[in-house]
């Protein structure tokens, strides 16, 4: 029997408060042992594998140091990007293989939710050492440990968290953990780097937190100075989160907390911003002036390090600056975590996924988080969601099992009746029922629902606005315009939006090819599925760099589909230009996008649907047509709409 039973630390939420306390007791004893020069070789014979898909010095060294101090050994690969990952090995395969080499896997990965995937596929214990912008639970343990050592306890502290709250994974883990200890949290973000809504939603729904904004002026007049705010001179307000035992009671705008126990500062995560040298705003470094006021003079200053220039170096000698203690706590806390894993030999793995919503093939939504591991390793990972606790019943919120991000669902469908509905409050009961029956489907938009072969629950009478001859004539006209406009037909490529845009793209390709004498390459782009271009028909894969792309879709409405398709195109390279061809322009644009080639413009009302029915061939079949009908409201009666 292995000495170490499988027990993973993916999220700080995996640890009950009693276990956190136990880890801290162990950390105290290890910290004393290190000071006295004693060794505790309790992990002798155990092997830890450190898999770091992202660079890290502190986390990795402190894990390795902790393991060595306990008498264990460490194996690692210097950089996962140069080894198996570069060869295209999936995370699941890597951890399954490494499970045979080691007793513990420590993983750092750039994708949100990677640690959850590793925990599910590895047969040994997995410790999350940071996965994307999701969580970094061992850093949180170190933060809490230092906070507890400095303040004597963790219950009901008031902590100001400043800096990059959007991408800072240490911050998200810390906020969840502090919320469990009932802390008041004041957030003072760099402007544009606010705490994401999903973090707020989660602690509002699960920990009953309430949010109030505290104005700069109010804070200033209230107690002299609140210098934390000079970190965000551009921000008009900051947000404070206060525990709220009685959410129904109408409480006036929040006042600044009477005193602060800690400032937690973070670094700007430049590597997670779109541009490499981003400077969202100018801010002055945090220094001793912030600690002068009566409300802040007892506060300690924390920082997960490395710092860039958020904390003034003069502060280092101040006893309230505890960031180097935080770093030093890394080893005893991680020793304690390993010891705790050893103590929990018989602990059953507790992260069950029994509450996941069963989606039948093709009916599951895609996680909206572009950094989610399900988007990177979609070849074998099926998206998995559960109901998210939410404070707003008008929307259906699902939470990704991997990255824990909430997904707002606007359209739901019933897989047996093949009907879709715009979600509203009256559908909650049905949706629960459909989940039990395994018949729930969810969609991003009406377009997606219809792409997947669903019909609206109810619709008005339909009217034909184009017949097969008119469709064929429109394609001819568009092809003639393209031919007239194009300067170099060899640099043309035709890209259609899945699925009807792609069918039209194939037709345009043949028509343009006949007229110019050069058959352009043709590809499909799937805004709901894969990110790469899918070459169509006999097209070999081609480079979009320098090409004039004709982007084709059947109907343009808001323009969001086109915007997404362009974003996907730009991930492939730099086209020399993009021209947009649509069969139908129905108006109602929500974006500054204008098609270059339009088959027919039709005035429609917002609740109308335009449906293009065409087949996957040369076209001109008598059954082909464009239909217009109006969508009717979801059922308000008790009758089951399915």
Partner 1 sequence: MALDADALARCVKRIAYEIHERHSAAERLALIGIIRRGANLAERIATILNQTGRPLVEVGTLDISSYRDDDKSTPGDPRLLGRNIPFSLDDRNVVLVDDVLYTGRTVRAALAALADLGRPRSIELAALVDRGRRELPIRADYVGKNIAAPEGQRVYVKLSEVDGVDAVVIGETKPEAF
CA 66 to CA 341: how far, in whole Å? 13
Interface with partner 1 in residues 115-154 (CB under 8 A) = none
One of 22, 58, 564, 600 is an active-site residue; which one?
A: 58
Q: Give me the least distance between CB of 566 and partner 1, in Å please.
A: 6
Interface with partner 1 in residues 51-110 (CB under 8 A) = none
Query: Of 90, 80, 34, whose CA–CA distance to 56 is shortest?
Result: 80
Residue partners of 270: CB distance under 8 A and separation at least 6: 276, 277, 278
Binding range to partner 1, per CB under 8 A, among 96-104, 248-256, 268-276, 497-505: 268-276
> Dihedrals φ, ψ of 47, to 5°?
-120, 130
579 catalytic per annotation: no
Which of 130, 520, 595, 599 forms a contact with partner 1 (CB under 8 A)?
Answer: 595
CA 219 to CA 253: how far, in whole Å? 12
Nearer to partner 1, 284 or 627 (CB): 284
CA 52 to CA 82: how far, in whole Å? 11
One of 69, 108, 384, 419 is an active-site residue; which one?
A: 108
Which of 73, 84, 191, 433 forms a contact with partner 1 (CB under 8 A)?
Answer: 191
Q: Is 275 in the site for partner 1 (CB under 8 A)?
A: yes
> Do the beta carbons of residue 388 and residue 404 sit within 8 Å?
no
Q: Is 178 in the site for partner 1 (CB under 8 A)?
A: no
**DSSP run (H or E) holding 627:** strand 625-630
58 catalytic per annotation: yes
**SS3 per-residue string spanning 416-448:** CCCEEEECCHHHHHHHHHHHHHCCEEEECCHHH
Q: Is 422 in the site for partner 1 (CB under 8 A)?
A: no
Nearer to partner 1, 18 or 277 (CB): 277
Q: Which token pair is 437?
A: 């029956």
Which of 136, 579, 586, 609 forms a contact with partner 1 (CB under 8 A)?
Answer: 579
Using left for φ > 0, alpha for ψ between -120 and 50, and beta otherwise, residue 132 falls in left
Nearer to partner 1, 590 or 632 (CB): 590
Q: Work out the burial of residue 195: count CB atoms within 10 Å of its CB; fewer than 13 is exposed, 13-18 middle, 19 or more buried.
A: buried
Q: Give me the least distance between CB of 235 and partner 1, in Å please.
A: 5
Q: Give me the least distance between CB of 202 and partner 1, in Å please.
A: 16
Q: Is 564 in the site for partner 1 (CB under 8 A)?
A: yes
Q: Give me the least distance between CB of 544 and partner 1, in Å please.
A: 11
59 catalytic per annotation: yes
User: Which ranges constitute the DSSP H helices of 349-467?
Assistant: 373-376, 428-437, 446-451
Q: Is 236 in the site for partner 1 (CB under 8 A)?
A: yes
- The 396-400 sheet, strands edge to edge: 385-387, 396-400, 406-409
CA 349 to CA 510: how far, in whole Å? 58
Q: Give me the least distance between CB of 627 and partner 1, in Å please.
A: 26
CA 173 to CA 9: how far, in whole Å? 12
Which of 277, 317, 346, 354 forms a contact with partner 1 (CB under 8 A)?
Answer: 277
Q: Is 580 in the site for partner 1 (CB under 8 A)?
A: yes
Number of residues that bind partner 1 (CB under 8 A): 40
CA 613 to CA 58: how far, in whole Å? 59
Binding range to partner 1, per CB under 8 A, among 137-145, 324-332, 561-569, 599-607: 561-569
Q: Is 309 in the site for partner 1 (CB under 8 A)?
A: no
- For residue 56, cis peptide bond before it (omega within 30 degrees of 0): no
What's the residue count for the chain? 642
Which of 71, 110, 182, 192 forms a contact with partner 1 (CB under 8 A)?
Answer: 192
Binding range to partner 1, per CB under 8 A, among 116-124, 276-284, 376-384, 449-457: 276-284
CA 202 to CA 207: how far, in whole Å? 8
Q: Is 446 in the site for partner 1 (CB under 8 A)?
A: no
> Do the beta carbons of residue 539 and residue 523 sit within 8 Å?
yes
Q: Is 566 in the site for partner 1 (CB under 8 A)?
A: yes
* Residue matched to tokens 């590809």: 523
Q: Work out the burial of residue 279: count CB atoms within 10 Å of its CB; fewer than 13 is exposed, 13-18 middle, 19 or more buried.
A: exposed
Q: Give me the least distance between CB of 434 and partner 1, in Å please.
A: 25
The mark string for 516-545 relative to partner 1 (x by CB under 8 A, - otherwise) is -----------------------------x
Nearer to partner 1, 41 or 574 (CB): 574
Angle at CA of residue 107, ends 101 and 109, nearest 5°:
135
Q: Give me the least distance between CB of 343 and partner 1, in Å please.
A: 44
Q: Give me the least distance between CB of 169 and partner 1, in Å please.
A: 18
CA 324 to CA 317: how far, in whole Å? 11
Q: Is 594 in the site for partner 1 (CB under 8 A)?
A: yes
Binding range to partner 1, per CB under 8 A, among 152-160, 271-279, 456-464, 473-481: 271-279
Taking the mean position of all CA atoms in its chain, how far away is CA 596? 34
What does the binding site for partner 1 look like in residue numbers (CB under 8 A)?
191-192, 194, 197, 234-236, 273-275, 277-281, 370, 408, 545-546, 551, 560, 562-564, 566-567, 570, 574, 576-580, 590-596
Looking at the annotation, which residues are catalytic?
58-59, 87, 108, 136
């Amino acid at each position: 029997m292995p000495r170490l039973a499988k027990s993973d630390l993916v999220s700080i939420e995996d640890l009950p408060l009693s276990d956190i306390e136990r880890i801290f007791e162990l950390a105290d004893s290890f910290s004393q042992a290190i000071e006295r020069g004693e060794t505790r070789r309790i992990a002798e014979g155990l092997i830890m594998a450190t898999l770091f898909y992202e660079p890290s010095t502190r986390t990795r060294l402190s894990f390795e140091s902790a393991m060595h101090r306990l008498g264990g050994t460490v194996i690692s690969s210097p950089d996962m990007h140069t080894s198996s990952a570069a060869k295209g090995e999936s995370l699941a395969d890597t951890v399954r293989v490494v499970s045979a080499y080691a007793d513990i896997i420590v993983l750092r990965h750039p994708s949100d939710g990677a640690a959850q995937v590793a925990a599910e596929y590895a047969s040994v214990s997995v410790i999350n050492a940071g996965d994307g912008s999701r969580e970094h639970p061992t850093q949180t343990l170190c933060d809490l440990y230092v906070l507890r050592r400095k303040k004597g306890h963790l219950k009901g502290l008031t902590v100001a968290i400043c800096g990059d709250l959007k991408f800072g994974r240490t911050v998200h883990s810390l906020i969840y953990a502090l919320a469990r200890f009932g802390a008041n949290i004041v957030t003072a973000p760099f402007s544009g780097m606010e705490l994401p809504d999903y973090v707020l939603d989660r602690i509002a729904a699960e920990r009953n937190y309430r949010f109030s904004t505290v104005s700069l002026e109010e804070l200033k007049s209230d107690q002299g100075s609140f210098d934390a705010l000079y970190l965000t001179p551009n921000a008009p307000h900051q947000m404070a989160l206060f525990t709220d035992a009685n959410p129904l009671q109408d409480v006036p705008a929040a006042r600044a907390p009477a005193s602060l126990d800690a400032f937690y500062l973070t670094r700007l995560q430049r590597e997670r911003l779109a541009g490499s040298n981003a400077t969202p705003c100018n801010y002055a470094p945090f220094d001793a002036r912030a600690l002068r006021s009566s409300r802040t003079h007892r506060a300690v200053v924390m920082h997960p390090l490395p710092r860039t220039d958020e904390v003034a170096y003069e502060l280092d000698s101040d006893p309230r600056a505890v960031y180097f203690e935080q770093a030093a706590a890394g080893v005893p806390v991680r020793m304690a975590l390993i010891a705790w894993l050893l103590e929990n030999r018989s602990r059953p793995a507790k992260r069950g996924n029994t509450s996941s919503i069963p989606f039948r093939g093709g009916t599951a939504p895609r996680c909206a988080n572009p950094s989610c591991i399900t988007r990177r390793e979609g070849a074998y990972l099926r998206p998995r969601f559960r109901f998210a606790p939410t404070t707003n019943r008008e929307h259906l919120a699902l939470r990704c099992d991997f990255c824990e991000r909430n997904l707002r669902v606007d359209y739901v469908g019933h897989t047996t009746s093949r009907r879709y509905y715009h979600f509203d409050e009256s559908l909650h009961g049905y949706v629960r029922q459909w989940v039990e029956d395994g018949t729930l489907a969810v969609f991003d938009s009406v377009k997606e629902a219809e792409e997947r072969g669903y019909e609206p629950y109810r619709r008005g009478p339909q009217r034909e606005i184009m017949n097969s001859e008119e469709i064929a004539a429109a394609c001819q006209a568009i092809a003639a315009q393209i031919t007239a406009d194009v300067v170099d037909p060899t640099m043309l490529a035709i890209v259609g939006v899945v699925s009807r845009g792609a069918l039209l793209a194939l037709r345009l390709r043949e028509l343009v090819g006949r007229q110019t004498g050069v058959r352009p390459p043709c590809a499909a782009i799937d805004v709901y599925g894969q990110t790469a271009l899918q070459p169509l028909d006999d097209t070999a894969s081609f480079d979009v760099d320098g090409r004039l792309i004709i982007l084709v879709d059947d109907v343009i409405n808001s323009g969001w589909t086109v915007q997404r398709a362009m974003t996907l195109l730009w991930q492939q390279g730099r086209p020399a230009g993009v021209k947009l061809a649509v069969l139908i322009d129905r108006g109602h644009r929500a974006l500054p996008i204008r098609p270059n080639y339009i088959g027919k413009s039709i005035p429609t009302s917002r609740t109308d649907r335009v449906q293009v029915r065409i087949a996957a061939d040369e076209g001109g079949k008598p059954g082909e047509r464009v239909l217009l009908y109006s969508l009717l409201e979801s059922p308000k009666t008790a009758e089951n709409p399915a």
